[in-house]
Amino acid sequence: MPTIIFDKAATEFSNLYHPERPARLMMTKAHLVERHPDWAWIQPRLASETEILRVHHPKHLARLRQPVDFDADTPYYPGIDGHARRAAGAAIESVAMALRGQKGFALMRPPGHHATSNRAMGFCYLNSIAIAAHYALEAGCERVGIWDFDAHHGNGTEEIVFGNNRIRFASAHQHPCFPGTGTVSRGNVFNWPIPPRSDADRHASAVRQALDRLIEFNPDIVLVSAGFDAYTRDPLTEMTLEQEHFANFGRWLKETGLPAAPILEGGYSNDLPILVDAFLGGWSD
């Protein structure tokens, strides 16, 4: 069974009407506690400055502390640097658990995969998955795979890891869609752009191909940007996946037999709790 990495502090910042809201975590936690009372819950630590600076420029850390919005989608919140460090710390803990033969899912916010080395954007402030990938390398992994099935392309992750031959990034995502990237594959980066309203099985096939491309890399660990906004009723996207597809993603991950470290990215419908549950159930059954 998985351990859920969670901190109530991640629900203590918000902006009126913003889709990346505390209820995403609160509803999911309540659902998982009710459905799986035997699952363990632990709190993450803050990612250290050393861990963050493997990925982000020092000026970016300084900018996170300035009380000015980053863009219309990415507002400044008091203490957002700490909240983002806590989310990154949860991703690191998921990796650490995986390397010990355990399963840990980081149920945290803010998400991270749009944050570039020097810019916060798209609801993201620090790139948790990239920070965790570099932690895995420092912990002794020779090769790290990153599987991103969020409906939005992980442009920040791609920017950070491109050219690092010890990391392979594979993403299946809606295009056209924010942020407008991820149309081509290059080097250690593999992208599957999926048109809006595509057939769900076609989309799922691309997600499977992305995972297979990582397996070919023979990684020591697979990190997962687990976004649930390709769901058919998500308010921010135009995709058609159903609950069963996310359950399949979890099963596919389990069937690799590889250590895995999934973290929550997007997913903005009120059905997020059942989608997370489906994925975790497939991964842990």
Catalytic annotation, residues: 114
Strand partners, 191: 171
Distance CA 163, CA 32 (A): 38
Distance CA 226, CA 146 (A): 10
Residue (of 148, 131, 150) closest to 45 by Cα position: 131
Separate counts of helices (H) and strands (E) for the chain = 9, 8
Helix, coil or strand: residue 226: strand
Question: Burial level of 49, CB count in 10 A (0-12/13-18/19+)?
Answer: exposed
In the chain, DSSP assigns E strands to: 3-5, 40-42, 104-106, 144-148, 167-174, 189-194, 221-226, 260-264
Residue with tokens 């699952």: 39
Distance CA 25, CA 6 (A): 9
Q: Which pair of structure tokens corresponds to residue 275?
A: 């989608």
